[in-house]
Amino acid sequence: MKAAVLRELKSPLVIENDVPIPEFGPRDVLMRVKQCGICVTDVRIASGARPVGELPFIMGHEGVGIVEEIGSEVANFIKGDRVLMNPLVSCGMCKNCSSARDNLCENRKLIGISPGVQGVYAEYGVIPERNLYKLPGEVSYSDGVLITSNLASAFHGARRVDFKASETACIYGVGAIGKLLALVLKSFGASLIIGVVRSEKSLKAAAAFGVDYLINSKKEDPVKRIKELTGGKGVDAGFEVVGKHEAILQAIASTRAGGRTCILGVPFYHVIMDFEDELGFFHEICEKEATIINSWGYVRQEFPMMINMVKKGLIDFSPCRIKIIPIEEVNEGLKLNKEGLYTRVIIGF
């Protein structure tokens, strides 16, 4: 089969035509890959920032495709089914799995990310039956990629704060995930969504995703403006999606007393939370009984929910910009991911 193979870190992936089709076990499905999203995690793996053990390695964890063959014990799929893969292979047995938090599984593995677990930058991939979800006819392959990539972490964040109909929200960072978070919050019944960005370019792009107000934090104080827009109180749920020290503090400060702040951004550098403040920031946190929540990835229960909401049109991906490229252009695709012009760059077979 054809695959894009990582043979050397910091070097372009190599397109190979004679990679053996992977063997599969009794509870596995051999999926013929139709599309696979290119993720910033892949960029980090290829650069060596995220170790994947011995090379060669096949990346790719955001796959959708068609069931080609099934293992002898597979009961829920037949050849020809359109499917979406959840790359997070959880054990189903540990304490977190038992409480519907398999994103925190003690024995988790990630397809296309964990050492030795080959991904789907390839014509075929092996996926455990438990990690596959049927895609209804109304949900396109690209919609499937958007579900398993950008949408999933946004959706989980909204569920982590138990976002309710008619609540207000602010989003610090309206990039690839922040935009999808706006779509999710709208679908959950948000009455007001305020986006905070740092460039004019993202101001324009965010409007199409249902953000009601956009604040350029380079031009005005976002906390002050959010308070003004919410009768002096702050939003019910504040979200931080960029993983930046300043934005985390601002998101907390923008949330009303008794509200919830959700941090989705993952900092990849040393963050110093500087509480040496004359403004009484920590005092404010105490006084308003702040609930500060982290959101990490997504849980398996969320896939049927997301697929159903996209199927019913409750979450509408039409403002998303996607670009589908052939696998031969995967190295250009990895570069395009860094530029951030598209909601998702997707390899299509």
Which residues in this chain contact Zn ion in the complex, by CB under 5 A?
39, 41, 90-91, 94, 97, 105
Least Å distance, CB 335 to Zn ion, is 17
* Tokens read off for 88: 């997070």
| Closer Cβ to Zn ion, 176 or 211, answer by number | 176
Query: Considering only CA atoms, which of 29, 100, 101 is closest in space to residue 66?
Result: 29
Q: Give CA–CA dist 95/81, Å, rounded.
A: 32
Listed in sequence order, the DSSP H helices in the chain are 40-47, 95-98, 141-146, 152-160, 176-187, 200-207, 222-229, 245-253, 281-287, 302-311, 330-339
| Closer Cβ to Zn ion, 14 or 94, answer by number | 94
| Closer Cβ to Zn ion, 173 or 259, answer by number | 173
Q: Do 133 and 144 form a contact (C-beta atoms < 8 A)?
A: no
317, burial (CB in 10 Å: exposed 0-12, middle 13-18, buried 19+):
buried
Least Å distance, CB 114 to Zn ion, is 13
Least Å distance, CB 198 to Zn ion, is 23
| Closer Cβ to Zn ion, 51 or 137, answer by number | 51
| Closer Cβ to Zn ion, 225 or 344, answer by number | 344
Residues 6 or more apart whose CB falls under 8 angstroms from that of 345 comprise: 37, 38, 322, 323, 325, 333, 336, 337
The β-bridge relationship of strands 82-85 and 132-134 is: antiparallel
Least Å distance, CB 94 to Zn ion, is 3
Least Å distance, CB 346 to Zn ion, is 12
| Closer Cβ to Zn ion, 109 or 288, answer by number | 109
| Closer Cβ to Zn ion, 97 or 299, answer by number | 97
- The residue sitting closest to Zn ion, measured at its beta carbon, is 39
Q: Give CA–CA dist 146/314, Å, rounded.
A: 14
Question: ω into residue 319 within 30 of 0, thus cis?
Answer: no
Least Å distance, CB 90 to Zn ion, is 5
Least Å distance, CB 155 to Zn ion, is 14
